[in-house]
Structure 1
């Protein structure tokens, strides 16, 4: 038991994360973030997905360079947030519904194939890949890649990307592994957002990074609202630890019932 919370009614509630299986113990990203990067060139227009609670999937299109990037995030309430597509001025749009298989490379060939890239022995326009993470039990913990000019004398763009997750998985490199390298490995930190520049390609890429910490009762309250209050205090539907909750009821039941008229766990919102 690592957390106790006390409100103005002197009611104490306990959170027992050690009761969860170790491989399913929930970790959350801190709300305090830092912005690092970007790496790449100064071409294109700036974009900023902003920081979120975590990353659920990353979709890339690439050939000789990183053509486009789309990220699905998760907000503080656990709802999906779909970022805009960045780059892709010459690659096919996601609206064309290229069939994607999670964590597998898909060769994309259009009617106007320019035959600039080889995929599974075929000349194609670009390659698509969708990286799926098992959020909230898996996070992006490292990003690396390379950037280089498109032509001699032009501004650099991102040529390849590699992602490492909290489960030790390595996805990539996706693209040409040539050019100036960059890397941002994180020990105890995770990626919660992306920023950068893009036009025809992804010109530059930056990160929002946050520390990873164990989930607290207030995190559950923000995600589940009143249902969390009933589950953790009164042992209602969806309760995780009924034995401990019954003990809480016996010790703090009268005060908790008096407090129910007030906003549940109001200190979590301060």
Structure 2
């Protein structure tokens, strides 16, 4: 029983020196990768981050990574996994090294800063990725070895709420690269956790962390606008677009009418020039017709400007309408996906709840089958015993018959 989650990679930050390393977990197209961070040891020097060592979670199993950088291990920090996960990373880097790192968990616990305490160099570039209530860091990759320090770093993120996560990345101007998904083996994780709880190694907290997020996953539709509200906005915008189209067509018709009238006035002026009427009458008529023509041309310019503005507004509203339709389609697909995920999780939870009952039933059936087999074996033994008795009786009868014949 597995739950598939989106996994992305963000970064790298830092330089290009040293040797590359990658601790994203077993990476294949069928889905894989570590499922969380159990602990970390990050070393600091006076001018950069000097070393890194992480312990990962692999579906409830601890996996220790390799030490990167100088052999000073740093201070070990244990996370109360799965109740506590890394949801924020920030720091500074230049073209050679990672100068400063700081983490924050979903319990608002700050880890660090590691490396430089005071930022004095204006050429250092800052980076920050926050994934509050949308995802958690599950792996790291980077480069190390140049000057024996940490040259660069990237992070792998398990995405719990894709819409909120990618919206947050867009707001921060961060690019994420799609990676093979993560498959959470829920039964395996639950079994290992129960074993660890019995040994006293884990502080179980069902209200926080990844398990809580798994249970909350189907109920996160409130992060998207309600479908009914979007459909109402679509109806209102469609009505406005229709009104604009009608007004735009009406304005275009007015422009064509005024253009035709302007051409008629120009033709009238040409006729006046070629007429033989008295000069004073011609001047009065010409001035009158010319003034009317100028007024009509001014009115035509205003109408043409209005037509152009209405065309731009109409195109903008039509684009908004298309975007709204796409958003409605995306929301419908999202709700369908959430329904499927909810149904899947409900089935998985029901399976987990029913598993003890199923085991008891199977044991009862096994006991019943064993009892029936025992009865059958007993019956078979009785049959064999009966056959032996019958054979003995036949032999006795035969011996008695032979003796009677002999005495006769």
Length-normalised TM-score, structure 2: 0.37
Q: 1:159 Cα deviation (Å)?
A: 0.8
- 2:130 paired with 1:185: yes
Give secondary structure in 2 for the equivalent of 1:156: coil
Q: 1:31 Cα deviation (Å)?
A: 4.0
Structure 1 Cα separation of the partners of residues 184 and 62 of structure 2: 21
Distance 1:218 1:194, change over 3 A: closer
- 2:44 paired with 1:83: no
Structure 1 Cα separation of the partners of residues 14 and 184 of structure 2: 40
- 2:87 paired with 1:147: no
Matches within 5 A, 1:174-213: 174-176=114-116, 177-178=118-119, 179-187=124-132, 188-199=134-145, 200-212=148-160
Rg: which structure is higher? 2
Tell me the alpha carbon deviations over residues 97-133 of structure 1, each in whole angstroms, 9 at most, x when there is no partner: xxxxxxxxxxxxxxxxxxxxxxxxxxxxxxx322221
CA RMSD of superposed structures (Å): 3.6
Higher helix share: 2
Contact 2:5–2:160 (8 Å) recurs in 1: no
Greater RCO, CA 8 A, separation 6+ = 1
Matches within 5 A, 1:1-270: 31-50=5-24, 51-63=33-45, 64-76=47-59, 78-88=60-70, 92-94=71-73, 128-148=74-94, 155-176=95-116, 177-178=118-119, 179-187=124-132, 188-199=134-145, 200-212=148-160, 219-221=186-188, 224=191, 232-235=353-356
Structure 1: where are the runs of 5+ without partners?
6-27, 95-127, 149-154, 236-244, 259-270
Alignment coverage as a number of residue pairs:
172
Structure 1 Cα separation of the partners of residues 142 and 21 of structure 2: 5
Q: 1:233 Cα deviation (Å)?
A: 2.8
Q: 1:180 Cα deviation (Å)?
A: 1.4
Give secondary structure in 2 for the equivalent of 1:233: helix
Structure 2: where are the runs of 5+ without partners?
25-32, 162-182, 196-348, 367-408
